[in-house]
Structure 1
Amino acid sequence: MEIKRTFDLLANLKHNINKDDMLCAKRNGEWVKFSVKEYSEQARLFSYGLLAKGFQKGDKIVTVSNNRPEWNFVDMGMSMIGVVHVPVYPTISDEEYKYILEHSDAKMLIVSDVILYKRLKEVSKEIECIKEIYTFNDIKDATNWSEITQLGEQERIKWKDEFKVIRNSISDEDLVSIIYTSGTTGNPKGVMLSHKNFMSNMKDAIPRYPLSPKDNILSFLPLCHVYERMINYLFQANGCSIYYAENLATIAQNLVEIKATAFVTVPRVIERIYDKLVSKGNDLSGIKKTLFFWAMKLGERYRTNGKNYPLYAAKLKIARKLIFSKWQKAFGGNLRFVVSGGAALQPRLSRLFFAADIPLMEGYGLTETAPVLASNYIHEPGNLMIGTVGTVFNSVEIRIDEDGEILAKGPNVMMGYYKDEKTTAEVIDKDGWFHTGDIGTLIKGKYLKITDRKKEMFKLSSGKYIAPQAIENLLKESDFIEQAIIVGESEKFAGALLAPNFEYLHMWAHDNKVHFRDNQELINNEKVFAIYRKEVMRFNKLIGKHEEIKRFRMVHEAWTSASGELSPTLKLRRRIIYRKYADILREMYAYAENEENKGSIKFN
C-alpha cells in the first residue's frame, strides 16, 4: 500500500508484517516486546481516548520522554486524528521548557519518569494552556497515560466512526509535528513538519540502506530529534525490530544482547567508541599491542569502492582476521552498517570502520528538511565518498549559492516556523529555496561536502576568513583532544580552546610518571603542555597559513550538554563557551608590551 501519512506505516505493518517483536524495551532486566498487533491497538485506543477527552484536529500535545515503545503509541495515536505531536528533549533548561510549553499552545503534557514529572509539574503551573500532565511510568499521585487508552477502550464504539472520518480526512500536507530546534542562541524555533515532509524523506532513504524484517535495530538517539524520528519511521517501513537502549551507558551491552544489525548515531558516540577501543589497545602488551595499532594505522588508510592496492588488501585481510573480527564480536557479531549524522564525522573514523568491515556512512540534513538532504550509501559503486555527506536524495534539489551557502528545495522542506512568518521568510526565499546556513560544495558534481556553518565563519583582522568547524574536526583526530573551539574573530590570529580527552591523558600521565592532584594541575604541567603544543603544531601543517593556531589554552573540565557547553545534539554552544572562558580568551589575546588588544572577541 502507498505510504503518504505517518500512520500509513501502521496499516502497512498490519497488512504485511506480522511479528511479535516490533517495538522492544528493557524493563527489570528483561526485554519486553510488543507485536505489530499490540502497537496498532494501543495507538488506536489512544486516538479514541483523546477524542473522548475532547481533543480536535490541530490541538497540540507535548511529550518529554526517553525512547520507548509508548512514545510510538502516542505518536501514531495523535497523528491518526490530526493532533500535533510536540516532542521535547528531557535535558533542556526550565526556561526552555516554559517557552516551548507556552509557545506551542499545548493542552497536554506527557512525561516519562518521576524526575521529569516533579520538575515539569512545577514548570507547567505557570503555563495556562497546559490542562493535564500524564506519565508513562507508574508514579504515585500522577495520572498514567494508560488511563487515556482505557477511556478509549470504554468508548470505542462511540468514537469508532468519528475516528475513521477524521483519519480519512487527513492529508499528507497536514501538520503532524512541531519540533523545536535546540539552537545555540536565542529562543528555540518551532519547525512545522507535515506528513509529506517526513514520508517523502523516508521514501528517499529506503533504497539507500539494505533493511528488512530480519533486522534488529538498536535505537538510542532521542526520538524527539528529527533524525532519529525519521529513521524510526524508516525502520518501521522496512518491518525491522526496534530495540530501545536502556541508556547511553548500556549501548555496548544492548548491541550484543539483541545482535544488532544496524544503528544510527552521531559522531560524538563514534568518537567515544573509538576512544574505548584505543584504551583497550593501550592495555595490551607485546606483539598484541603492536598488531592492534598496526591494524588501526592500516585502517585509517582505507579507500572505498575497491580502490585499495593488492598489497594493502592482503594486509587488510590479516588485520580483519586478527584484530577487526574482535570489533564485530564486541558489537554483537551481526552488525552490517552504521549511519552517522547530526554533525561532521571525522573521515579517518569512517575509513577505520569500513576497514573493520563495518561500513560507517555519513549523512547530512536539518530539522527544517525533515531531515536528510544527502547521504552516503553502499548499494552501488559511485554512491559513496568518505569525507563528504554523499549524494543528494532523489526528491531533493541542491544549489550552491554565490557565497557558498547550500540551498535546498523539495517535498521534505518544512511548512515554516510556528508563529514566526518573519523568520520563515528569511530562510525560505520567494522561489522556495531553503537557505541552510551551511557552506558547502559539490565534488564531481554529485558528492556534497560541508565545509562550515555560514554564521560561524569569521574574519581575522587581516580580512582573511576562518572556517572553524573544519579545523575543530581536524584537531579532534588527536587522541589527546576531546573537543576544540577555534576563536579569533577580528583578532590578528586564530586561537583555540581545547577540552582534553582526560581518560586518555590520565593513562598517558601514568605511563610517563606525571603526577597530579586534579585536572587543573594536570593541564598546567609543562610536559602535558608540550604534548598539546606538539599536537597543535602537527595539525597546523595541514591547514592554510592564516588558519594556523598561534595560541591555545586547555580547560580542566569536559564539555557536555548537561553543563551547557554542548547543545542536546552535542554541537558547540559557542557564545556560552565564549562567556564561560572570557578571562582565558582575554589573556590569550593580550598583545606584547605597549600594545593594546584592538580585537573584538565576542563574549556574549
Structure 2
Amino acid sequence: LSDRDSSVCFLPLCHIFERAWTYFCLYTGIPVAINNDPNRIQQTLRERHPTCMCSVPRFWEKVYTVIESKMAEMNPLRRFIARRAQKVGRRRNLDYDRLGLRAPWLLELRYKFYDRLVFTPLQRVIGVERGNIFPTAGAPLSPAITEFFHCCGINVLIGYGLSETTATVACFPRVGYEIGTVGTPIPRVQVKIGPENEILVKGPTVMTGYYRKPEATKEAFTADGWLRTGDAGRIDSTGAIILTDRLKDLFKTSNGKYIAPQAIESRLGEDKYIDQAAVIGDRRKFVSALIVPAFGELRRYAEAHGIDADDNVALTADPRIYSFYEERLARLLDDMAPHEHIKRFTLLPQPFTIENGELTNTLKVKRRAVAERYAEEIERMYV
C-alpha cells in the first residue's frame, strides 16, 4: 500500500477496525472517501473505484448472493463460461499465486482470457476493478465465499482482532494464506491457546487496561499478562489461527452437544435466499433458527411458482415457502454434524436492524436482544 492507493470508509468510525484503518490510510497518504449512508455503499464504490477498503463479512455476503443470483439468470452458454472462468481462476490464484508460485504459461494465458472476459467486468460492476486489498473482519466469512472472490481476482484479506488489541491481531499474509483461517499473527504480536481453547494475545498493540475499571482489567488478563480474547480457536500447522466462535456464544444443547452458532450462520450466509439468521439452542433439545429471507430473491421465486408475493407476513407464513427453505437448509448443512443441523426454524417478515437494537454497528446479531424480542417465536419451535 502507498499514497497511490485510495480507500472508502463506510463502517462507523467509532469502531476500532475502521478507525485504525483510517489512521493507517492518513499516515500512509491514502485518500479516504467517506460514505455516510451504508445503503449507498455500492453506488459509492462505482463512483470512487477504491483500491482498498476495510469491511465486514456482511458486505461480501450480499455481493456474493447478488452475483450468484445474476449467474442463475444467465443463459446456459454464459453460465458455462462463468463457471469455467471460476475453475481457471481457482487453479491460477489459489494453487499457484497464493503460494508465491508462477503459474504454467498456458494456465496464465487462459486466466488472462477469462480475466478480460469475466473477472474484470465483474469487478467493474462492483466498483473494485482497481482493487489491491480489501481487509475484512468482525465476524466469520464463509470459506466458500472467500474462495469465490479470490478465484475472481478480488483480494478479500481476512483478519481478526479486538478493540483491546487496537484492531488487528492476525490477517492473511501475501503468500501462503489458508482459506478458512483468519491468517497469521502480525509482527511483534504473540498468540497462544489457553484453557477452554481460548485465544490469548500479548504484544505492544494490546491495551494496558480498561479506563477506571481495575477489576474488569484484572479479569481480562491471565496472571502472566496475556489478554483473554473471549474467542475460542486453534492454531494450525502453518501457524494460522482458526476461529471456532465467541466463548460466550458457544452453547450446549440439553443432549450435551457443543454448538458454534457463528459457523452455522456463516454457512447460511452463502444462500441467496437468506438475508440474516440467528441460531438458537442453548440448553435446548435441538438447534433451531430465526431466519430473515432475502425478500427480493424470494419474491421472484414465489411469483414463478404462483405464490402470492405482495405481503411479507403472508409470504413467510406460507407452508410452501417453509418447505422450500427446509430443503435448502438440509442441503446447506448436509456435511455438518447431525447435532448441528437446524431441526426447526421461523421465517421472519422483517429484518434485524441496528435501530431496533438487534444488530451491532458492524452488523453482527445481538443474540440476547434477539432472544428477548422473539421469545414467543422461539418457544413455539420447542413446543
The 3-state SS of whatever aligns with 2:120 is helix
**Residue 244 (structure 1) shift:** 1.6
Q: Does the 8 Å contact 2:161/2:169 carry over to 1?
A: yes
**Residue 563 (structure 1) shift:** 2.5
**Structure 2 unaligned spans of 5+:** none
2:117 maps to 1:322: yes
1:311-350, aligned counterparts within 5 Å? 316-330=111-125, 331=127, 333-350=129-146
User: Which amino acid letter does the alignment assign opposite residue 325 of structure 1?
Assistant: T
2:55 maps to 1:265: yes
User: Which amino acid letter does the alignment assign opposite residue 462 of structure 1?
Assistant: N
- What is the aligned partner in structure 2 of residue 487 from structure 1? 280
Q: Deviations over 1:533-568 (max 9, x none)?
A: 111111332111222222222111111212322111
2:233 maps to 1:440: yes
Aligned length: 377
Distance in 2 of aligned mates of 1:482 and 1:301: 30
Q: Deviations over 1:505-557 (max 9, x none)?
A: 12222233322331111122232212211111113321112222222221111
Seen in structure 2, the aligned counterparts of structure 1 residues 364 and 332 have a Cα distance that, compared at 3 Å, is closer
**Residue 336 (structure 1) shift:** 2.0
**Residue number among 423, 426, 432 corresponding to 2:216 in the alignment:** 423
- What is the aligned partner in structure 2 of residue 233 from structure 1? 23
Q: Deviations over 1:83-105 (max 9, x none)?
A: xxxxxxxxxxxxxxxxxxxxxxx
The 3-state SS of whatever aligns with 1:232 is helix
- What is the aligned partner in structure 2 of residue 369 from structure 1? 165
Q: Deviations over 1:321-345 (max 9, x none)?
A: 3221112222153122211011111
- What is the aligned partner in structure 1 of residue 335 from structure 2? 542
Q: Does the 8 Å contact 1:218/1:262 carry over to 2?
A: yes
Distance in 2 of aligned mates of 1:259 and 1:538: 37
1:249-260, aligned counterparts within 5 Å? 249-260=39-50
- What is the aligned partner in structure 2 of residue 224 from structure 1? 14
Distance in 2 of aligned mates of 1:526 and 1:313: 50
2:3 maps to 1:213: yes
User: Which amino acid letter does the alignment assign opposite residue 249 of structure 1?
Assistant: N
Report which structure shows greater RCO (CA 8 Å, sep ≥6).
2
Q: What is the TM-score when the length of structure 2 is the normalising length?
A: 0.90
Distance in 2 of aligned mates of 1:445 and 1:355: 22
Q: What is the TM-score when the length of structure 1 is the normalising length?
A: 0.59
Q: Does the 8 Å contact 2:172/2:184 carry over to 1?
A: yes
Seen in structure 2, the aligned counterparts of structure 1 residues 315 and 483 have a Cα distance that, compared at 3 Å, is farther
Q: Deviations over 1:408-457 (max 9, x none)?
A: 11111112112221111111122111100000110115101111110111
Higher Cα radius of gyration: 1
Distance in 1 of aligned mates of 2:97 and 2:128: 29
2:260 maps to 1:470: no
The 3-state SS of whatever aligns with 1:452 is strand
1:66-145, aligned counterparts within 5 Å? none
**Residue 305 (structure 1) shift:** 5.0
Seen in structure 2, the aligned counterparts of structure 1 residues 435 and 587 have a Cα distance that, compared at 3 Å, is same
Q: Does the 8 Å contact 2:278/2:289 carry over to 1?
A: yes
RMSD: 2.4
**Residue 274 (structure 1) shift:** 2.1
- What is the aligned partner in structure 1 of residue 67 from structure 2? 277
Seen in structure 2, the aligned counterparts of structure 1 residues 445 and 395 have a Cα distance that, compared at 3 Å, is same
Seen in structure 2, the aligned counterparts of structure 1 residues 409 and 385 have a Cα distance that, compared at 3 Å, is same
- What is the aligned partner in structure 1 of residue 205 from structure 2? 412
Moved more, 488-497 or 288-297: 288-297
**Residue number among 355, 362, 366 corresponding to 2:151 in the alignment:** 355
**Residue number among 318, 340, 344 corresponding to 1:525 in the alignment:** 318
**Structure 1 unaligned spans of 5+:** 1-210, 591-604
Distance in 2 of aligned mates of 1:291 and 1:344: 30
Seen in structure 2, the aligned counterparts of structure 1 residues 408 and 587 have a Cα distance that, compared at 3 Å, is same
- What is the aligned partner in structure 1 of residue 369 from structure 2? 576
The 3-state SS of whatever aligns with 1:485 is strand
- What is the aligned partner in structure 1 of residue 352 from structure 2? 559
Distance in 2 of aligned mates of 1:314 and 1:490: 55
The 3-state SS of whatever aligns with 1:440 is strand
The 3-state SS of whatever aligns with 2:53 is strand
The 3-state SS of whatever aligns with 1:223 is coil
Identity of aligned residues (%): 35
Distance in 1 of aligned mates of 2:267 and 2:32: 34
Q: Does the 8 Å contact 2:90/2:150 carry over to 1?
A: no
Seen in structure 2, the aligned counterparts of structure 1 residues 496 and 254 have a Cα distance that, compared at 3 Å, is closer
**Residue 400 (structure 1) shift:** 0.3
The 3-state SS of whatever aligns with 1:403 is helix
The 3-state SS of whatever aligns with 1:456 is coil
Moved more, 451-460 or 536-545: 536-545
Q: Does the 8 Å contact 1:391/1:446 carry over to 2?
A: yes
Seen in structure 2, the aligned counterparts of structure 1 residues 406 and 317 have a Cα distance that, compared at 3 Å, is same
**Residue number among 165, 178, 194 corresponding to 1:385 in the alignment:** 178
Distance in 2 of aligned mates of 1:322 and 1:511: 31
The 3-state SS of whatever aligns with 2:20 is helix
User: Which amino acid letter does the alignment assign opposite residue 329 of structure 2?
Assistant: V
Distance in 1 of aligned mates of 2:88 and 2:247: 35
Distance in 2 of aligned mates of 1:238 and 1:560: 35
Distance in 2 of aligned mates of 1:530 and 1:307: 43
The 3-state SS of whatever aligns with 1:304 is helix
Distance in 1 of aligned mates of 2:217 and 2:95: 41
Distance in 2 of aligned mates of 1:576 and 1:453: 17
Distance in 2 of aligned mates of 1:566 and 1:523: 21
Distance in 2 of aligned mates of 1:299 and 1:577: 40
Distance in 1 of aligned mates of 2:256 and 2:46: 53
2:378 maps to 1:585: yes
**Residue 225 (structure 1) shift:** 1.0
Seen in structure 2, the aligned counterparts of structure 1 residues 251 and 486 have a Cα distance that, compared at 3 Å, is closer
Q: Does the 8 Å contact 1:302/1:351 carry over to 2?
A: no
Distance in 2 of aligned mates of 1:445 and 1:353: 22
